[in-house]
Amino acid sequence: MARMHVMERSEEQAIMDELHAAVGRRLAVSSLAPCPVEFTMAFVDMCSTQSCGKCTPCRVGLNTLRHRLSDVLRGRATMATLDGIERLARTIYLSSDCAIGYEAGAMALTAIQGFRDDFVHHVTYHACGFKQSEKVPCVSGCPAGVDIPGYISLVRAGRNTDAVRLIRKDNPLPMVCGLVCEHPCEMHCRRGMVDDPMNIRAIKRFACENMESDYRPVMAEPTGRRVAVVGGGPAGLSCAYYLAVMGHKVTILEARRQLGGMLRYGIPSYRLPREELDGEIQWILDCGIEARTQTEVGGDELQALRRDYDAVYLAIGAHGDRKLGLPGEDSEGVESAVAMLRAIGDGDTPDFTGQRVCVIGGGNVAMDVARSSVRCGASKVNIVYRRRVQDMTAQDEEIAGAGEEGCELLELNAPVRIEADEAGHVCGLVVQPQIIGSFKGGRPSPRPADTGERTIPCDRVIVAIGQAIQSKPFEEAGVGCNRGRIVTDTDGRVPGMDGVFCGGDCQSGPATVIRAINAGKVAAGNIDNYLGYDHKVGVPVDIPPVEFRDVGPCGRSETKFREANERRHDFCQIEHGLSREEALQEASRCLCCDHFGFGAFRGGRELQW
């Protein structure tokens, strides 16, 4: 008999691995769980199966906790039961020997405290108090509430123009979002339970690129009311579009040379080609919207606008830069990411030929300026970040793209000061190596490592640590602001200024394109009501009937990129869209959650708003 055996993956282990993977896939799309109490019980039940049985709090406590949660769901609990659940969860958390027990107790304690109202509702009414969403997961995950299953079914039926019409009911910039949206809808896609989430963004882009014919929206009768929109970014454009569709006369006032806001002055053309952006903007302006560029609006101008127009919408965005506050930051060669991208947006591409560039930051803007620096001729680009790569806020594909194009990522390095030569020009960035530590604010916090500072030689430093809102002129005119953000009521009105509304980045802080679009859509509806109307926005598009078909495992069709060594030399579009074959196959993967499954549209989909 052999003394030892080579470890082999048994058939039983393979099955168990797939079960683990299936649980992980379901958890990944379960952020819209129907009942917090039921979800907590299922979590505790799963944790109890992992207990080794060595310590009583874990072995006995989790099983007891599971039964008490079951009593709540079955209508056998009292208010005392809830207090007992909280005490038991805290005891398990504080006295278990290992993470299997104390993490389960901590999560159960978080649930009973965070969802107390839901637990109380179960005890009082013997029923779930969680309001079931009338939208399917992907629609709930989309800030603009786009009817995603609807337009996917239209693409599957070969009706791309109708798909775009349906998208524009809630999002007037479908091509822009088909190229640069961060697609939060995919996080909730139930297809992820089977294999991978739908490639929703790519399907949207395919529909826009393959419309059978152009069309114009149905416009309401002119109302004679005039609305001024301050800011030509995604929030301002969206608000202007929907107000125009509702019959109001809209004028956009933009401080810069061209419309687009951060779409133009924050996203490089290799991600968002200018011809596509200009085409979408012109399509919106053709709805009868007047645009005045290079028109600054401050506090005094705001008062004048309020006198001349029936309503005003402030959507000035977040176009200011943030400083590091480091010694040497005023040296020649130090600039902000906002200033660099703004110049590129206006066609003033800088020349970095032969220069060594350090980019400070870890978000999408940092990736954009790093990749743009490569295209501007930089000989070396370092991205300096004080945390780990996995802690970056940039999208994974942006981080990977920067690496493929030659950018070097220096993680766990905190900038200390910027060194300059005798002429006052940047010659190096001094950093302090970091070590990752305990969690603060949801992310592990870095601290200085037990090692000395080091200098990264460079000729230019670009600071990409966030954007600021230039709200001071409005604050001086009496507009309420809190930490730079304009304060509004829940409907977007600016307190104390009748008829003035605000939304987008200047109200919420820097956010995504789709959130800005949603802000403009919401503002349009509220301004329409303020003006005394109740217009409805909808489209006369018939959704194809649901097809009963095979929805078994099928690989996700991904978009493809130009070769890195080719694309790094120009600002041309880097991503290829799906082919017709790929798009139709991808659309056929949809599980039709608008027809099947918990959370489906009840009483019909939202045809208008």
pLDDT tens sequence across 424-434:
999 999 999 99
- 487 and 463, same structural domain? no
DSSP 105-168: HHHHHHHHHHTHHHHHHHHHHSS--S---SS-HHHHHSTT---HHHHHHHHHTT-HHHHHHHHH
- 117 and 45, same structural domain? yes
CATH code for position 486: 3.50.50.60
Helices (H), 148-266: 148-156, 160-168, 174-180, 200-209, 234-245, 262-265
pLDDT at 131: 57
Distance CA 330, CA 107 (A): 47
Q: Quick one: which of 315, 313, 363 has its CA closest to 341?
A: 363
Asked whether residue 254 is assigned to any structural domain, the reply reads yes
Asked whether residue 16 is assigned to any structural domain, the reply reads no
CATH code for position 588: 1.10.1060
pLDDT at 552: 81
- 360 and 284, same structural domain? no
Low-confidence ranges of the chain (pLDDT < 70): 1, 30-34, 130-135, 597-604
- 186 and 143, same structural domain? yes
Contacts of 111 (CB under 8 A, 6+ apart): 36, 39, 40, 43
Q: Is-contact 388 413, C-beta < 8 A?
A: no
Place of tokens 């207090």: 83
pLDDT at 426: 95
pLDDT at 385: 97
- 442 and 343, same structural domain? yes
Contacts of 61 (CB under 8 A, 6+ apart): 88, 91, 92, 96, 101, 105
Backbone angles phi, psi at 18, to 5 degrees: -70, -35
Q: Is-contact 234 521, C-beta < 8 A?
A: no
CATH code for position 119: 1.20.1440.230
Asked whether residue 21 is assigned to any structural domain, the reply reads no
Task: Taking each helix axis as running N to C, give the angle between helix 79-95 and helix 61-73, from 0 to 180 degrees, rounded to the nearest 10.
Answer: 160
Backbone angles phi, psi at 176, to 5 degrees: -55, -50
- 282 and 264, same structural domain? yes
pLDDT at 596: 76
Asked whether residue 17 is assigned to any structural domain, the reply reads no
Q: Quick one: which of 438, 430, 437, 383 has its CA closest to 411?
A: 383
**Residue 288 is part of which domain span?**
226-318+469-530
- 392 and 359, same structural domain? yes
- 115 and 64, same structural domain? yes
Q: Is-contact 427 421, C-beta < 8 A?
A: yes
- 283 and 268, same structural domain? yes
- 364 and 464, same structural domain? yes
Chain centre distance of CA 529: 29
User: At which of 91, 125, 159 does a domain end?
Assistant: 125
- 460 and 336, same structural domain? yes
Q: Quick one: which of 47, 54, 84, 55 has its CA closest to 68?
A: 84
**Overall domain count for the chain:** 4
Asked whether residue 183 is assigned to any structural domain, the reply reads yes
User: At which of 468, 483, 504 does a domain end?
Assistant: 468
pLDDT at 11: 84
Asked whether residue 23 is assigned to any structural domain, the reply reads no
- 239 and 198, same structural domain? no
pLDDT at 33: 56
Asked whether residue 25 is assigned to any structural domain, the reply reads no
User: At which of 125, 148, 177 does a domain end?
Assistant: 125
Asked whether residue 1 is assigned to any structural domain, the reply reads no
Distance CA 70, CA 97 (A): 25
| Whole-number Cα distances in Å, 81 to 67, 76, 123 | 11, 9, 9
